[in-house]
Structure 1
Amino acid sequence: MAPQRDPVERSADDSVDLYDVSTWEPRSAVDRFATLLYAGLNYGLRTLVLVATVAITLSLLATPAVLVADEPLLGVFFGLSVVPALVLAAYIWYADITTSEPLKLLVATFLLAILFATFAGIVNEIGRYLLSPLPAVIGTLLFFYLVVGPIEEGVKLLAVRVLAFRSKSFDAVIDGAVYGAVAGLGFAAIENAIYISGTLAELDSGMGLFTAATGIATVRALVGPGHVIYSAIAGYYLGLAKFNPEHAGPLVVKGLLVASLFHATYNATVQVAPGLIAGFHPAIGPEIAFVGYVILYDLVVGFYLYRKISRYRRTYSDVRVTADADDITPERTEFDPSHR
């Protein structure tokens, strides 16, 4: 769309100087100063936010780094805790039937999700404080549905939006699911590191430390795939938004709404459902009930995502077959009746 022009500019010819009338460019010293000041504020603010984000992220990773330095084997637990999420993200990447995404963009999205996770942590703490005066059940539900779900899914989607979304490589709707999954993987990685290190920092070194690490790493390994699934759903709708600009806003909101609801519902139910499941039979212990519920929940929500990806893949294949068939025009020969 051509930029809108003032009536004077539309009517005047090139011989008329329209500076400060209907057009403008930096001419005077004040103009140039204003331009430099704007650039400084614009890029300076971005730089300040980036530096602050990196600083906060490094401070959050200080405890895991110290633990690994003291007990290098603990690094294995940090790595193992993200393996299920990594496998799931790799599957979504593999399911992309279109062109493969550049590795540098995938890595950048992963790192951006780690950085932006700090914003979620800060907002979560503020939200927890503001809702603390409410009754426990109401405050907890509001915290999950109004703070944790929207904020965490929002920052993961932001990690896709600021870079990968703007790239020419983001050339298909399904690419949104791929980058969303990678953002979820990055978020899960730093969240797992913080949770595991926070628990282990309170313990003394020795075999008890590794026993605790095994338990908490197992729990976080189960939680990680959820982050990948939720943000892949939001990312899929971001992909739809890119190719449907007239409905981009509602599509992004829908993606965030669906992902946030799934995320918040998991947080709200995982504290109650395993206990109810364990109560059905004495042989079902709390640990088995927890593992079973998390896997079942991820399978249900994952099926929602799977159906969207499968439909896209199926339609993509059908359209390509049809297009190829339509493009095949037999070459005429001298034996054709209509040949001249």
Structure 2
Amino acid sequence: MAQRDPVEARAQRSRDLYDIATWEPRSALDRFAVRLYRAVVATGKWVLVLLAVVFTLAIGAAGALTNEAVLGLTVLSAVPALALAAYVYRTDITSGEPLGLLAVTFVLAVIFASFAAVVNTVLGGVVGAVFGTAPTAGGTDTTVLSVLGTVLFFLLVVGPIEETVKMLAVRFYAYRSERFDAVVDGTVYGAVAGLGFAFVENAIYIQRSAGQSLALGAPEQALAEAGVTAAVRALAGPGHVVYSAFAGYYLGLAKFNRENAGPIVAKGILIAALIHALYNSLATVVLPVVTGAVPSIPPITVYFGFVVVFQGFFGYLLYRKIKTYSAAYRDVMSDAERADSIGVERTEFDG
């Protein structure tokens, strides 16, 4: 219940407390203030989108997505993540989500991903300076200090920043729609935001791998390198869908529990960020050790097994969460139908 001023709480209902303890737009100045506030909010939103587009151009994502070869490999690499997002969409037991809102969420996730790229780059340099090595070096330095810096980078920077950015893509537009009318809808929009983020991230990785070979004057090698990167990214992409689907569920829960919305959203992002950071840490720190210990097994095979186990486990937890909501939905709908049936029978009997 909203807190009330003591004057409003104790005054008679007939007493006019406008501009004393209550307020609504009455005068011309009031109405101008309302319009000014709405204009500032709308302008701020468009400035945020424009800034995201500028950052997207700056990090080269737009160039990657306009290159036919890179775009084609990116689309292929996104198929597993798309399939998982489609499955989450199909599990929504409530009214289906409109494709328009899903498309906008996807596009916003693509351009808002640039915020994460910029922040990760800046803070990655800071962490690298503090720990004497860049966490993004791909395991080239295996000292204890380097490993600690890498794990902290994933835990304190990459996980929280990327999951927050993906939730921003949902919160910015779809969250405000009347069609976002159930807690589980947050899971659907979160999954789509994860798909958009994975799509543009894959494009950047694929372009970079091809660009390094092209710089050496080896176009055939560039295509081969890009293909290998696309295959690896195809395995990593579904993870983004799983992480943000968890966070999206709690964003949906927050929408219908406004009094505790902040802590609920924080919980969702925390869960997603921890899973995300754990994946990155294991893939970057532990897997190289495993592949080095068993050289007879191809590294891609080890990585594939790890992805199946890790993402399968957390994907199952997500499945259980969605199914729990679905069971509760069926129960209350059945209760409502029984109540309606009893009401009809009583009405007919009374008549």
Cα displacement (A) at 1:214: 1.4
Query: Matches of residues 223-242 of structure 1 in structure 2 within 5 Å?
Result: 223-242=236-255
Residue in 1 that maps onto 2:332: 319
In structure 2, relative to structure 1, the CA distance for the partners of 1:331 and 1:5 (3 Å cut) is closer
2:74 pairs with 1:61: no
Offset, 1:131: 1.4
Distance 2:2 2:327 in 1: 38
Q: 1:114 — aligned with what? A: 110
Aligned to 1:246: 259
2 CA distance for matches of 1:311 and 1:74? 40
Query: Structure 1 141/281 Cα, relative in aligned 2: closer, same or farther at 3 Å?
Result: closer
Q: Report the AA paired with residue 105 of structure 1.
A: L
The one-letter code sitting in structure 2 at the alignment partner of 1:145 is L
- 1:136 shift after superposition: 1.6
Q: Show the counterpart of 2:197.
A: 187
User: Residue by residue, what CA displacement relative to the aligned partner does 1:135-186 show, whole Å, maximum 9, x if unpaired?
Assistant: 3222212111111000000010111112111111111111000000000000
Separation (CA, whole Å) in 1 of partners of 2:333 and 2:21: 53
Aligned-pair identity in percent equals 45
Deviates more, 1:135-144 or 1:104-113: 135-144
Residue pair 1:160, 1:183 contacting (<8 A) in 2 also: yes
Shift of 1:239: 1.1
Distance verdict in 2 for CA 1:13–1:260, change over 3 Å: closer
CA offsets, 1:270-295, max 9 Å, x none? 12333454467554221110111012
1:91 aligns to 2:101 (yes or no): no
Contact preservation (8 Å) 1:63, 1:198: no
1:87 positional shift: 0.3
CA distance in 2 between partners of 1:19 and 1:316 (Å):
44
- How does 1:245-324 map onto structure 2 within 5 Å? 245-278=258-291, 283-324=296-337
- Runs of 5+ unmatched residues, structure 1: none
Structure 2 residue 153 is matched with structure 1 residue 143 = yes
Tell me, what secondary structure is at the counterpart of 1:292? helix
Are the equivalent residues in 1 in contact too, given 2:213–2:219 (CA < 8 A)? no
Note the alpha carbon deviations across 1:22-65, whole angstroms, 9 max, x for none: 9787768xx99988987776554443332221122134224315
- Asked whether the 8 Å contact 1:89–1:178 carries over to 2, the reply is yes
Q: Quote the offset at 1:326 in angstroms.
A: 3.2
- In 1, distance between residues paired with 2:338 and 2:22? 54
Distance 1:275 1:36 in 2: 58
Matched residues in 1 for 2:350 and 2:329: separation? 36
Using the size of structure 1 for normalisation, the TM-score is 0.84
Evaluate the alpha carbon distance shift between residue 39 and residue 245 of structure 1 in structure 2; reply closer, same or farther with a 3 A threshold: closer
Shift of 1:199: 1.4
Structure 2: gaps of 5 or more residues: 132-144
C-alpha distance in structure 1 between counterparts of 2:181 and 2:242, whole Å: 21
The CA distance in 2 between the partners of 1:333 and 1:232, in whole Å, is: 45
After TM superposition, give the deviation of residue 114 of structure 1 in Å: 1.1
Per-residue CA shift, 1:284-311, capped at 9, x if unaligned?
2211101110121100111111110111
Decide which of 195, 220, 226 is 1:207's aligned counterpart: 220
Q: 1:50 maps to what in 2?
A: 49
Counterpart residue type for residue 112 of structure 2 = F
Any conservation in 1 of the 2:212–2:222 contact (CA below 8 Å)?
A: no
The one-character-per-residue Cα deviations of 1:231-284 (angstroms, maximum 9, x if unpaired) are 000001111111222322221111111100000011111123334544675542
Aligned residue-pair number: 329
- Relative to structure 2, which stretch is displaced further, 82-91 or 72-81? 72-81
Q: Aligned Cα RMSD in Å?
A: 3.4
Q: Which moved more, 1:201-210 or 1:122-131?
A: 201-210
Corresponding residue for residue 141 of structure 2: none
Question: Which structure has more helix as a fraction of its residues?
Answer: 2
Q: Supply the distance in 2 between the matched residues of 1:185 and 1:112 (Cα, whole angstroms).
A: 11
User: Structure 1, residues 4-25: CA drift from partner, whole Å, max 9, x if none?
Assistant: 57959x68977x9x88999787
Greater Cα radius of gyration, structure 1 or 2: 1
**Aligned-partner Cα distance in 2 for 1:21–1:65:** 54
